Structure 1
Amino acid sequence: MGKLIVASNNYNKIREIKQILCEYPVDILSMKEAGVDLDIEEDGATFLENAYKKAKTVYDILEHKFMVLADDSGLMVKGLNGEPGVHSARFAGEHGNDEKNNKKLLNLLKDKDRESRRAKFICTMVLAAKYDKILQVQGEVEGIICEEERGNNKFGYDPLFYVPEYNMTFGEMSAELKNSISHRAKALKRLKEEIGKYI
């Protein structure tokens, strides 16, 4: 069985990737599980720059022996001029504090109209594979930021991201539904065929 190293230690992100790629005979490991103890600074100006940096850094550390997948994703809100964007994970100043990030987002959008609350999730993925091939894809999904959290799935901005077609937030969706329509799912679907070539 081949190995795919995800350039992340984010449990929720890796769980989603495993669920979406479950049909492939590949062992999906976090950086920590692959023996890479490193905190890669995401200092790029775009999602692509951050994803590329993470993929290439881990791929080089592992001496090009395994495929490495990195993503950088975030939320862009129309009424906030595209913020939080690349700063989504540390919007409130502390990396990965979903509660504080959501609270800040709600405060900034207080009394804003529906048009200002229009938003989209973006996921840019970079795969470093055999023969030093670098592949990049992007997936997007559009929605609206709610006025309060909805749903039990508290991953990131999910309880605030409402998808009109389904009359639910990501936080209210089953894992199966979210993983079929999300920005990460769309990006991974575009990579699936390529990943299959290297397993």
Structure 2
Amino acid sequence: MELIVRSRDDSGVCSDKIYQYHEIDSLASNSSRPKRTRELVFVTGNENKVKELEDFIKPKLAKLTVLDLDLTEIQSSDILDIVEDKCRRAFQQVRRQREDLSDNTCLMIEDSGLHFKAFNGLPGPYIKCFLEKLKPIGLYKMLEGFEDKSAEATCTYALMENESRIVFCRGTVRGRITSPRGNSWGWDPIFEEERTGNTFGEMDAETKSKFSHRANAIIVLRKYLSVVD
């Protein structure tokens, strides 16, 4: 679990600073004024993603607003570049639509990836396209000729308050690709989480909320919201 702060100068050159989970407290403000409750404008049309987020984010940390925008996605193997681009375009749209935007409002985008070690990290952020064409069983069969079936699931939340700074909250879970077991939502039935030996598809909602990549990313997000002013 880690947090990445990306800044861009006037020429567009970016610099990243990475904080491990235990280092996030160093971002806390020294101000004695009361903490503000931020508004998170979460851009998504996926109700499952909203539900998972609502279960973790308490109202005192942030007011959650959900907005469904039609955003095209750039082609890149780097999830950070993908969510940054989507976040910037969404930020511009929302700023045109809402006159009440304040410096207390964060726009947020989420994206996830499934990375096969045997394929040097692919499908990665392209997992949605692979899943639509191949279904879970097809993804599993892709690795039939490979001894190494290890994989990594990642989830990244990108938060933007202004166009010069963006914060990424990233969660990662290791596991392996297996024949489908459990429910058939997304690629859940083929990803066996290494600590439990169960696929996400075999987990109930409570268990998945403890072990999933998205849960880890939300923990980082919640920590960040609790320390920043």
Whole-angstrom CA distance in 2 between matches of 1:18 and 1:42: 28
Go from structure 1 to structure 2 and tell me whether the alpha carbon gap of 1:120 and 1:7 turns closer, same or farther (over 3 Å shift): same
Q: Which residue pairs with 2:27 in the alignment?
A: none
Whole-angstrom CA distance in 2 between matches of 1:20 and 1:130: 25
1:43 corresponds, among 75, 78, 82, to 75
Q: Secondary structure at the match of 1:16?
A: helix
Indicate the RMSD between aligned Cα atoms, in angstroms: 2.6
Whole-angstrom CA distance in 1 between matches of 2:57 and 2:106: 14
Whole-angstrom CA distance in 2 between matches of 1:117 and 1:100: 17
Q: Which residue pairs with 1:55 in the alignment?
A: 87
- Mapped contact 1:129–1:198 kept (Cα < 8 A): no
Q: Which residue pairs with 1:165 in the alignment?
A: 195
Q: Secondary structure at the match of 1:62?
A: helix
Q: Which residue pairs with 1:107 in the alignment?
A: 141
Structure with higher Rg: it is: 2
Normalised TM-score (structure 2): 0.70
2:108 maps to 1:74: no
> Unpaired segments of 5 or more residues in structure 2?
1-36, 96-100
Normalised TM-score (structure 1): 0.80
Give matches, 1:111-130, under 5 Å. 111-113=145-147, 116-129=148-161
* Identity across the alignment (%): 27
Mean Cα deviation higher: 158-167 or 22-31: 22-31
Whole-angstrom CA distance in 1 between matches of 2:163 and 2:86: 18
> Higher helix proportion, which one?
1
Whole-angstrom CA distance in 2 between matches of 1:58 and 1:109: 36
Quote the offset at 1:7 in angstroms: 2.2
> Unpaired segments of 5 or more residues in structure 1?
none
2:71 maps to 1:3: no
Quote the offset at 1:137 in angstroms: 2.5
- Mapped contact 1:146–1:160 kept (Cα < 8 A): yes
2:164 maps to 1:151: no
2:55 maps to 1:16: no
Whole-angstrom CA distance in 1 between matches of 2:65 and 2:77: 27
Cα offsets for 1:92-135 (capped at 9, x unmatched): 5xxxx3x833132122122533xx11001012221113796521
- Mapped contact 1:125–1:136 kept (Cα < 8 A): yes
The number of residue pairs the alignment matches comes to: 186
- Mapped contact 2:109–2:157 kept (Cα < 8 A): yes
- Mapped contact 2:74–2:82 kept (Cα < 8 A): yes
